[in-house]
Structure 1
């Protein structure tokens, strides 16, 4: 907001900047790990079994996303009593292997390895604000704690809302296999594996069997094949019907797909409603299967018009997930990755975002 010479007030549109906005990375020095941080905050608010399992889901997502954390080291400081740039320029994993870890000890005599999901969390206390930090993936850091004699577990972000994980929880997070929840999910997983190999006819067959067994994920993936004509004849009306059936059961990919279909037909307001519903459904159980898509679509259609900084953080998280999925030859991951890169380029340009107004009160989903 700025004053005009005539005494009036000039409002600067949201998202405009005179200087180029830098794109953050999905890392402690960039976005942190929003899913974990939100889950811990909800655990402190809820203090119940549901919020605990939500936290476990967020940690599983962080492991899937190859999230990095900062681990403090017990080494001599070159500059005393002043903040050092270790949080933004940590010691690489390869160089930190032989360095002694800095730990915390509680009144019961148990020793915990602290880990920080963001630079801000590491700098929240003087004891670590100037301490050298090592950069580890969350998985490597957890395995390091398990393999180091004398360490009983880890505590994530100890100076704020924190989560303490003992050895049993670490083992469970690191070594628990993927167990299909619904009867048809095993068939759906087989279909996804066939799709990665480009065998769409086999994928369709697996998705059909999964849907028959009651898997909403299988139904959503089958609808995607029918919509795009992969391994079967194209029938978009039937695909929409199947997506709506799956979406009514809370299936997240179906909501994203329905939103994309609305956007392709120019109905951007209704598309936003589907994306919002996908975001609400994904909030309690993030997963690399769908959360990157949710982040990207919300950033593209809503957040970019309200906060460029938040939109960039969502785009960075999406990009991280799509990069991993592309490496694993997930169908369409390269296309999603290209969209995330394009959004980041747009958000870091000097051009302000042009807001799109919708009469949200008059919109409703069928």
Structure 2
């Protein structure tokens, strides 16, 4: 099954953040560090799994055989001891890998048994062990060492306080999920007046679709542009959607839509958040990636479906559920194209429908 996992997609946000650690000079070290923190936060939001070398009684490394390509699942890895790295200075670190190629890049771990475990679980267990200084991500290439102070900050960080308008947006989303769009729209109006960019964008969505009040697409465009200029990624995506679809007066412009999506990607890469990045992945898969790099398209769709599924499960946000529906349909088309005639095709589609879990999805 095509899924968001170290074996199929890797851990794209973490890999991007680590790659950027090596791209700039020391002048931008602090910026790169916070980029890594955001990438790790996103990975925790996504309940990302990583590959961890483990010790099995009686098992010995088997030369060129790779456990990383077919790792031990979490439910079977309970109670297994981790294999650790010790530096020349006697510092002991737990190595974790974002994809099989990273685990197999050195003879020290090639052939070691590997378990696929949640990153959050691995962080918690590293904190609990007195003999470990921290963990190191992808130690054989471009790597990132995460000491216990950073792990504790990631896992124990308090929730930020609401900015003006955020409480109204949260309440409006809850009402929208219940179909009370008129009350929701009034709250989005309040949030927008308070200067909340999410409130501006959600109000624009209501205006565009005529939810809770009259349809006003001209006002929607004005509001989307205002929110996008203030840094709202989903507003920038909405602009791309409008350019791509066009209106009765203005013809569709796929090129302008693609440029808007690319700008959204640049904006989202600076934040890496589960509310925005999966939608960016979906738009990229639907536009520039589609038909050019089919493997990359599959990875983008897998991340989009997984992230939006996580978001819809935790927050009954109608906008996120609508995006999940689109992502699942795009993934269905991809699976039918890539695996036409395969024996397990219907099973894959059934599992996708179960993961998407929206009332309006039907797979034949």
From the superposition, tell whether residues 245 and 332 of structure 1 become closer, same or farther in structure 2 (CA, over 3 Å): closer
Residue 259 of structure 1: CA displacement? 1.3
Helix, strand or coil at the partner of 2:326? helix
Moved more, 293-302 or 82-91: 82-91
- The residue aligned with 1:312 is 298
Q: Give the whole-Å Cα distance in 2 for the aligned partners of 1:232 and 1:105.
A: 64
**1:258·1:271 contact (CA, 8 Å) conserved in 2?**
yes
**2:51·2:115 contact (CA, 8 Å) conserved in 1?**
yes
Equivalent in 20, 34, 41 of residue 42 of structure 1: 20
CA RMSD of aligned residues (A): 2.2
Residue 103 of structure 1: CA displacement? 1.0
Q: Give the whole-Å Cα distance in 1 for the aligned partners of 2:91 and 2:168.
A: 45
From the superposition, tell whether residues 73 and 188 of structure 1 become closer, same or farther in structure 2 (CA, over 3 Å): same
- The residue aligned with 1:252 is 233
Equivalent in 312, 318, 332 of residue 345 of structure 1: 332
**1:77·1:131 contact (CA, 8 Å) conserved in 2?**
no
Moved more, 98-107 or 286-295: 98-107
Helix, strand or coil at the partner of 1:346? helix
Equivalent in 43, 54, 59 of residue 35 of structure 2: 54
Equivalent in 293, 297, 317 of residue 330 of structure 1: 317
User: Aligned pairs, how many?
Assistant: 329
Q: How does 1:184-199 map to 2 (within 5 A)?
A: 184-199=165-180
Helix, strand or coil at the partner of 2:116? strand
Q: How does 1:1-366 map to 2 (within 5 A)?
A: 24-46=2-24, 47=26, 48-76=29-57, 78=59, 80-180=61-161, 182-265=163-246, 266-328=252-314, 329-350=316-337
Residue 207 of structure 1: CA displacement? 2.3
- The residue aligned with 1:356 is none
Helix, strand or coil at the partner of 1:150? coil
Residue 193 of structure 1: CA displacement? 4.0
Helix, strand or coil at the partner of 2:55? coil
**1:114·1:155 contact (CA, 8 Å) conserved in 2?**
yes
**1:252·1:290 contact (CA, 8 Å) conserved in 2?**
yes
Q: Deviations over 1:197-217 (max 9, x none)?
A: 544344333322322222212
From the superposition, tell whether residues 128 and 199 of structure 1 become closer, same or farther in structure 2 (CA, over 3 Å): farther
**Could you state the TM-score of these two structures normalised by the residue count of structure 1?**
0.83
**Could you state the TM-score of these two structures normalised by the residue count of structure 2?**
0.83
Q: Give the whole-Å Cα distance in 2 for the aligned partners of 1:124 and 1:331.
A: 43
From the superposition, tell whether residues 49 and 197 of structure 1 become closer, same or farther in structure 2 (CA, over 3 Å): farther
Residue 326 of structure 1: CA displacement? 2.5
**1:77·1:132 contact (CA, 8 Å) conserved in 2?**
no
- The residue aligned with 1:20 is none
- The residue aligned with 1:4 is none
Helix, strand or coil at the partner of 1:54? helix
Ranked by relative contact order (alpha carbons within 8 Å, sequence separation 6 or more), the top structure is 1
Q: Give the whole-Å Cα distance in 2 for the aligned partners of 1:233 and 1:77.
A: 70
Moved more, 305-314 or 204-213: 204-213
Consecutive aligned runs of 4 or more in structure 1 exceeding 6 Å deviation: none
Q: Give the whole-Å Cα distance in 2 for the aligned partners of 1:140 and 1:71.
A: 11
Q: Give the whole-Å Cα distance in 2 for the aligned partners of 1:243 and 1:335.
A: 18
Q: Give the whole-Å Cα distance in 2 for the aligned partners of 1:132 and 1:101.
A: 10
**2:50·2:118 contact (CA, 8 Å) conserved in 1?**
yes
Q: Give the whole-Å Cα distance in 1 for the aligned partners of 2:123 and 2:3.
A: 22
Q: Deviations over 1:220-245 (max 9, x none)?
A: 11211222233333222111110011
Q: Give the whole-Å Cα distance in 1 for the aligned partners of 2:271 and 2:253.
A: 28
Residue 177 of structure 1: CA displacement? 3.1
Residue 188 of structure 1: CA displacement? 3.0
Helix, strand or coil at the partner of 2:15? helix
Residue 79 of structure 1: CA displacement? 5.5
From the superposition, tell whether residues 153 and 196 of structure 1 become closer, same or farther in structure 2 (CA, over 3 Å): farther
